[in-house]
Amino acid sequence: MPAQPGHLQLLAGPTFTDPACAAEAVDPNWFFPAGHNRQRARQFAAAARAVCSRCEHMGDCQDYALAAGPDLKGIWGGLTETDRWLIRHDNW
């Protein structure tokens, strides 16, 4: 079922109602900075983290991203792919 406006349906995950990242003023590219030059990618990542930091679903989103595994791309719950890799390998 497609997500309704104001909802974010994660792939095989929970539906979050009114997540900060679904706001109209938020550029979805901020959450997927790969493919941009290093400086631009850092700017996008900082913008995404700022959005995540004020979202009530940040912890749930982080849990989803960590459970989804290494193939999940982008910034989820304020965590980059590198952040998630470090967390996964730190917990070994």
* pLDDT tens column, 31-52: 888 777 889 989 999 999 999 9
- The yes-or-no verdict on residue 90 having pLDDT over 90 is no
Give the type of residue at 66.
Answer: L
- The yes-or-no verdict on residue 56 having pLDDT over 70 is yes
What are the distances in angstroms from CA 74 to CA 1, 32, 44, 92?
23, 4, 11, 23
Give the type of residue at 28.
Answer: P
- The yes-or-no verdict on residue 66 having pLDDT over 90 is yes
Average confidence score pLDDT of the chain: 81
Highest mean pLDDT among 5-9, 38-42, 87-91: 38-42
Q: Is residue 23 helix, strand or coil?
A: coil
